[in-house]
Amino acid sequence: MSELEGERAEHIPVLLQAVLEALQPQPGGKYIDLTVGAAGHARGILERSSPSGRLLALDADAEAVRYARSALSDLGERAVVRQGFFDEVARLAAEAGFVPAQGIVADLGLSSRQLESAERGFSFQAPGPLDMRLDRDRQETTAADLVNNLSESELATIFYRYGEERRSRAVARAIVRRRPIHTTLELAEVVARAIGGPRGRIHPATRVFMALRIAVNDELGALERMLPQAVEILAPGGRLAVISFHSLEDRIVKDFMRQEAKGCVCPPEAPVCVCGREPRLRVLTRRPVEPSAEECARNPRSRSAKLRVAEKLPAHSS
């Protein structure tokens, strides 16, 4: 057993078969995994595209990159693993010779490894520093910086907007009274008191922790910047598959795919199109693909997953 195999939780890839059906990996194809994590989707794509398909695998997290390199090492040069944020994909893919690509997958959010690693600060159940950065070398601002330095109204806005937390103001007020707050458990306790008791099966701090993570890593901004780059570097007929885990992400993906399938961005009252924008995508999932009850039972993390897939149209010559 390698040192890496001995580490914590195994991450089970979500909607793996659906992603493979969407991308239809072929020998000789070039594919990009924007969120390699524990390399489950990456391995699936490389196995399906055997013997000559190649995959560029990105992750912002140095530990995920280290793990994925080791996990994919048996595939030699077919797997190219790089550390980077996915909103840099146009540059990273060009540098690695992966433009145009036949398929791109993004499996958003965090892996089980990250969530369960106390020292990363993502979990309200494990004692750790309030960090939450994906890339601890390139990012300066931690969750503790936000919690201890933002104003009460700025914190409330983050909890409301990114966590859809109904008691955002009460939570922000309680935090400001109690700070400085340095650890996950301190924050979880302050939030639980402000909210008052558990909410069904969900821990009361779930939404606040999610909101902070989204803010620390500018997750929604990164997604918005990544999507157009992914379309740009896809080959005609190439496919983009995105798995999201909450409604804010899914709305961004859905709206983007719809807009790219429509092309024209002229206001509806305009008598003729003046923008001249052509559709660039065909949406293949009118409704998002969701995991079966069996997958949810086997892998509870998959419960809220939604997969959307679109295909790049051939460019029109004008």
Q: Which residue type occupies 64? A: A
* 205: CB partners within 8 A, 6+ apart: 124, 187, 188, 191, 192, 195
Q: How many residues appear in the chain? A: 318
DSSP assigned state of 48: H
| Segment 243 to 282, residues that bind ligand SAM, using CB under 6 A | none
Among 25, 53, 109, 291, binds ligand SAM (CB under 6 A): 109
Among 11, 203, 239, 308, binds ligand SAM (CB under 6 A): 11
Q: What is the dihedral of CA 47, 311, 94, 250, to 10 degrees?
A: -90
Residue 227 engages ligand SAM in binding (rule: CB under 6 A)? no
For residue 74, the tally of other CB atoms under 10 A from its CB is 10
What does the buried/exposed string (b/e) look like for 202-239 if buried means 16 or more CB atoms within 10 Å of the residue's CB?
Answer: ebbbbbbbbbbbbbbbebbebbebbbebbbebbeeebb
Is 111 or 184 the residue whose CB approaches ligand SAM more closely? 111
The stretch near ligand SAM (CB under 6 A) out of 30-38, 167-175, 232-240, 307-315 is: 30-38
Number of residues that bind ligand SAM (CB under 6 A): 21
Residue 40 engages ligand SAM in binding (rule: CB under 6 A)? yes
Q: Are 121 and 184 in contact (CB under 8 A)?
A: yes
The stretch near ligand SAM (CB under 6 A) out of 106-114, 140-148, 174-182, 194-202 is: 106-114
Residue 111 engages ligand SAM in binding (rule: CB under 6 A)? yes
Is 25 or 109 the residue whose CB approaches ligand SAM more closely? 109
Task: Report d(CA 186, CA 178) in Å as an integer.
Answer: 9
| Segment 167 to 226, residues that bind ligand SAM, using CB under 6 A | 222
Residue 230 engages ligand SAM in binding (rule: CB under 6 A)? no
Is 86 or 159 the residue whose CB approaches ligand SAM more closely? 86
Residue 85 engages ligand SAM in binding (rule: CB under 6 A)? yes
Closest CA to 89 of 247, 240, 212, 197: 240
Q: Are 130 and 181 in contact (CB under 8 A)?
A: yes
Is 60 or 230 the residue whose CB approaches ligand SAM more closely? 60
Closest CA to 305 of 225, 228, 241: 241
Among 15, 23, 39, 214, binds ligand SAM (CB under 6 A): 39
> Contact letters (x/-) for ligand SAM, 46-75, by CB under 6 A?
------------xxxx--x-----------
In the complex, the residues that contact ligand SAM under the rule CB under 6 A are 11, 13, 35, 37-41, 58-61, 64, 85-86, 107, 109-111, 134, 222
